[in-house]
Amino acid sequence: MVRKSFHYFHPVLLIPVLLLLSVTVISSCGTDSDHYSPVTEKGIPETTEQKAFAIALHGGAGVISKDIDPETRDGYLNALDHALRIGYELLDAGGTSLDAVEAVVRYLEDDERFNAGKGAVFTSEERHELDASIMDGRDLNAGAVAGIRTVKNPITMARKIMEESRHVLLSGDGAENFASLMDLERVDNSYFNTERRREQLHRAQERASAGNSGTVGVAALDRHGNLAAGTSTGGMTNKMPGRIGDSPLIGAGTYADNNSCAVSATGHGEKFIRNAVAYQICAIMEYTGVSLQEAAEQVIFGKLDEGDGGIIAVDRYGRIAMVFSSPGMFRGAADSEGRFEVAIW
Amino acid sequence: MVRKSFHYFHPVLLIPVLLLLSVTVISSCGTDSDHYSPVTEKGIPETTEQKAFAIALHGGAGVISKDIDPETRDGYLNALDHALRIGYELLDAGGTSLDAVEAVVRYLEDDERFNAGKGAVFTSEERHELDASIMDGRDLNAGAVAGIRTVKNPITMARKIMEESRHVLLSGDGAENFASLMDLERVDNSYFNTERRREQLHRAQERASAGNSGTVGVAALDRHGNLAAGTSTGGMTNKMPGRIGDSPLIGAGTYADNNSCAVSATGHGEKFIRNAVAYQICAIMEYTGVSLQEAAEQVIFGKLDEGDGGIIAVDRYGRIAMVFSSPGMFRGAADSEGRFEVAIW
């Protein structure tokens, strides 16, 4: 797929682009003719102009009914908007992509709408086991935690593991011990109890099924040219205790490499693990030279099945891809050129 | 290392970039070759002739002294030879690559020379936490277990997770519970105690260090054209409890895809996770069309540092690669054309 390049991009040109963008977003919200309509960023003309910074976030992909009441919808959009603003302002002020990823994920973890931190789903044993990972595209340094039960903000624990331990991934009791060594805010496991998630569990148990939606993730490019990505989740509703999905797995749910891109994934975790989704997108960019958008579409539409989920990603030029094959994905994108938008469908 | 990811630049911009790149590549090649001589299978003429079946195994990479006494050396070589024969005979008789991988890994797990199963190293708390993974190249199905403490053969547990659960990766207590549901041979954690590993732990604790050698892994192509790979380990000596290395992580320590190859890795687990080593080799084959040998060398010598470890791999033609940057790697290779060899250095 060859895309037209605009090398001399005067800021005034942004106006029609942004107008077009709003129309695209609004019209895609309105139409529901097909079984599903893969929303990609195809409407946005890609440029090779280097953006000073860029950030994309997601709050999970899945079957999100368009019939949700306006108040609920606006609550989500406002939460995404607020989260995006935190990252935007941090990056605009010269902050690092790593700090932006951590700060935005923390905000989403503290908002019980999302299946991460406070809003984490229940395991089959009616408890909570949280997973998170973070990766620094400068040096491929990474940290991750799986099955943590008492840390209020798992993304911060993932960063501590990256920076303060010699390991990448800690799980279970060992992770709890490490959390005790670090200065991390702890909570009782019941802090993560919410009525909405308990009802979801009971519905899932009745159907003997498991569902996953509301995982959160962020990818960012900072003014220093560094990429970072992070993902946080409560996992699948009704999951077997000890189950580790893609979110804490470097290469599956999260990957960042300054040579290619930063990715955070959300969806059917097992499929994402088996296809090494986050890393595969980076590998396609690195090894075949296609754009981020093209690489992400190859994986989400070519390797996964319809409805499996999606990704948000940022490349080293600050281009953003938000690609998903599920009916909706809570998401937001902003960059130094004035783009700032949130969407669900 | 030629990167093709500059398509979005104006062609003129490529010139300084490529110049800079060549200088970097040339200078890094120069320093590498001064320091060590990579042992690869370059001496073996590569053909694209389809072999009916092929198998490669490893028993860990690391600093293996050439001064070990002949009896110890022969003990290792005999164990590798015996393990390889099990796989060879199974594949020759028309068995599946998945069965060959499981059977050979089980044999190595039961031999206390290797850091997997019986010979697993000690954690910093003087206990054992074992990791394993297995992957089927036909359909990318996969199973893995991390931090299991009472299952005699973790590779069989990984296969049970692949075949009997809806998850890919189970860890800790949840994995113990799942093991209880399945018909798996259980042992007390003290079954894995060996004097040699206890001495290694004490030496590591004196130096406040951690070492990893003796992980085992197998990759195989069967007469039906299917690839499979599996890896099993006790992890790093003196590891923090809860630490998960690359061995149980699909994409890091193990990967298999009929479209490209089957890989099992061994070495400095954290580096292998951060570079998605097993999957990256498959991705390079799939997306750039180079041979397995070339893809493996690009990753082991181009992406990792000297001494980090190595991989064994088999591609869909039955070609075998055994590439490592450490002084030695216990390994073996056999195929339907009469190749049958084991080696250490």
Residues of chain B with Cβ-Cβ distance to A273 below 8 Å are: 142, 168-169, 250-251
B45-75 tens-digit pLDDT:
455 689 999 999 999 998 888 888 999 999 9
Cross-chain residue pair A169–B3, CB shorter than 8 Å: no
pLDDT band for A280, please (50, 70, 90 cuts).
Answer: very high
Q: Residue B256: closest CA among chain A residues belongs to which residue?
A: A274
- Nearest by Cα to B149 from B185, B189, B120, B100: B189
Cross-chain residue pair A141–B274, CB shorter than 8 Å: yes
Q: Residue A179: closest CA among chain B residues belongs to which residue?
A: B242
Q: Residue A274: is its pLDDT beyond 90?
A: yes
Q: Residue A49: is its pLDDT beyond 50?
A: yes
Q: How far apart are CA A149 and CA A187, in angstroms?
A: 8
Q: How far apart are CA A245 and CA A234, in angstroms?
A: 10
Cross-chain residue pair B244–A171, CB shorter than 8 Å: yes
Domain assignment present for residue A7? The answer is: no
Q: How far apart are CA B265 and CA B278, in angstroms?
A: 7
Instruction: Please state, in angstroms and as integers, the Cα–Cα distance from residue B15 to each residue in B8, B9, B22, B111, following that order.
Output: 14, 10, 11, 56
Cross-chain residue pair B174–A287, CB shorter than 8 Å: no
Q: Residue B135: is its pLDDT beyond 70?
A: yes
Instruction: Please state, in angstroms and as integers, the Cα–Cα distance from residue A345 to each residue in A77, A332, B43, following that order.
Output: 11, 11, 56
**Residue B283 CB partners (closer than 8 Å, separation 6+):** A276, A279, A280, A283, A284, A287, B260
Cross-chain residue pair A172–B168, CB shorter than 8 Å: no
Residues of chain A with Cβ-Cβ distance to B127 below 8 Å are: none
Cβ neighbourhood burial of B73 (10 Å; 0-12, 13-18, 19+): middle
Supply the range of the domain harboring residue B105. Answer: 54-343
Size of interface A-B (CB pairs under 8 A): 182
Strands A309-315 and A320-324, bridge-based pairing: antiparallel
A5-44 tens-digit pLDDT:
333 344 444 444 444 444 333 333 323 333 333 334 444 4
Interval A248-275 mean pLDDT: 97
A237, β-bridge pairs? A211
Q: Residue A345: is its pLDDT beyond 90?
A: yes
What is the value of ipTM here, to two decimals? 0.85
**Distance from chain centroid for Cα B338:** 23
Interface test with B, best of A3, A139, A249 (most B CBs within 10 A): A249
Domain assignment present for residue A42? The answer is: no
Would you state the structure tokens that stand for residue B299, as one six-digit string?
């990753």
Q: How far apart are CA A11 and CA A23, in angstroms?
A: 19
Q: What's the mean per-residue pLDDT of chain B?
A: 88
A48, β-bridge pairs? none
pLDDT in the model for residue B23? 38
Q: How far apart are CA B308 and CA A215, in angstroms?
A: 34
Residues of chain A with Cβ-Cβ distance to B241 below 8 Å are: 173-174, 177
Domain assignment present for residue B25? The answer is: no
In angstroms, what separates the C-alpha of A79 from chain B's closest C-alpha?
A: 31
Q: How far apart are CA A68 and CA A251, in angstroms?
A: 34
Catalytic residue among B96, B123, B156, B215: B215
Domain assignment present for residue A330? The answer is: yes
**Residue A8 CB partners (closer than 8 Å, separation 6+):** none
B9-52 tens-digit pLDDT:
344 444 444 444 443 333 333 333 333 333 344 444 455 689 99
pLDDT in the model for residue B212? 63
Q: Residue A225: is its pLDDT beyond 70?
A: yes
List the single residue in B173, B276, B280 with the smallest CB-CB distance to A172: B173
Interface test with B, best of A50, A250, A268 (most B CBs within 10 A): A250
Q: H/E/C letters for each residue in chain B?
A: CCCCCCCCCCHHHHHHHHHHHHHHHHHHHHHHHHHCCCECCCCCCCCCCCCCCEEEEEEEEECCCCCCCHHHHHHHHHHHHHHHHHHHHHHHCCCCHHHHHHHHHHHHHCCCCCCCHHHCCCECCCCCCEEEEEEECCCCEEEEEEEECCECCHHHHHHHHHHHCCCCEEEHHHHHHHHHHCCCCECCHHHHCCHHHHHHHHHHHHCCCCECCCCEEEEEECCCCCEEEEEEECCCECECCCEECCCCCECCCEEECCCCEEEEEEECHHHHHHCCHHHHHHHHHHHHCCCHHHHHHHHHHHCCCCCCEEEEEEECCCCEEEEECCCEEEEEEEECCCCEEEECC
Cross-chain residue pair A177–B240, CB shorter than 8 Å: yes
pLDDT in the model for residue A37? 33
Q: Residue B116: is its pLDDT beyond 50?
A: yes
Q: How far apart are CA A206 and CA A213, in angstroms?
A: 18
User: What are the E-state strand segments in chain A?
Assistant: 54-62, 130-136, 141-148, 169-171, 216-221, 227-233, 243-244, 254-256, 261-267, 309-315, 320-324, 328-335, 340-343
pLDDT in the model for residue A67? 87
Cross-chain residue pair B240–A290, CB shorter than 8 Å: no
In angstroms, what separates the C-alpha of A245 from chain B's closest C-alpha?
A: 7
Q: Cα B230–B231–B235 angle (5° rounding)?
A: 165
Residues of chain B with Cβ-Cβ distance to A285 below 8 Å are: 5
Cross-chain residue pair A276–B279, CB shorter than 8 Å: yes
CATH code for the domain in which residue A121 is found: 3.60.20.30
In angstroms, what separates the C-alpha of A295 from chain B's closest C-alpha?
A: 11
List the single residue in A172, A275, A290 with the smallest CB-CB distance to B242: A172
In angstroms, what separates the C-alpha of A76 from chain B's closest C-alpha?
A: 30
Residues of chain A with Cβ-Cβ distance to B9 below 8 Å are: 48
Domain assignment present for residue A182? The answer is: yes
Between the two ends of chain A, the Cα-to-Cα distance in Å is: 25
pLDDT in the model for residue B120? 96
Residue with tokens 């104006």: B10
In angstroms, what separates the C-alpha of B92 from chain A's closest C-alpha?
A: 28
Q: Residue A285: closest CA among chain B residues belongs to which residue?
A: B5
pLDDT in the model for residue B47? 56
Q: How far apart are CA A165 and CA B270, in angstroms?
A: 11
Catalytic residue among A150, A156, A215, A266: A215
List the single residue in A169, A172, A270 with the smallest CB-CB distance to B167: A270
pLDDT in the model for residue B86? 98
pLDDT in the model for residue B158? 98
In angstroms, what separates the C-alpha of A248 from chain B's closest C-alpha?
A: 11
Is B215 part of the annotated catalytic residue set?
yes
Would you state the structure tokens that stand for residue B163, as one six-digit string?
């075949």
Interval B248-261 mean pLDDT: 98
Domain count, chain B: 1
b/e string for A163-181 if b means 16 or more Cβ within 10 A? eebebbbbbbebbbebbee
Q: Residue B304: is its pLDDT beyond 80?
A: yes
pLDDT band for A209, please (50, 70, 90 cuts).
Answer: low
Residues of chain B with Cβ-Cβ distance to A49 below 8 Å are: none
Residues of chain B with Cβ-Cβ distance to A176 below 8 Å are: 242
Q: What percent of chain B has pLDDT over 90?
A: 78
Cβ-contact A288, B4 below 8 angstroms: yes
Domain assignment present for residue B46? The answer is: no
In single-letter form, the type of residue at position A250 comes to I
Q: Residue B91: is its pLDDT beyond 70?
A: yes
Domain assignment present for residue A12? The answer is: no
pLDDT band for A85, please (50, 70, 90 cuts).
Answer: very high
Domain assignment present for residue B264? The answer is: yes
pLDDT in the model for residue B46? 52
Q: Residue B1: is its pLDDT beyond 50?
A: no
Would you state the structure tokens that stand for residue A26, as one six-digit string?
């609004």
pLDDT band for B210, please (50, 70, 90 cuts).
Answer: low
pLDDT in the model for residue B268? 92
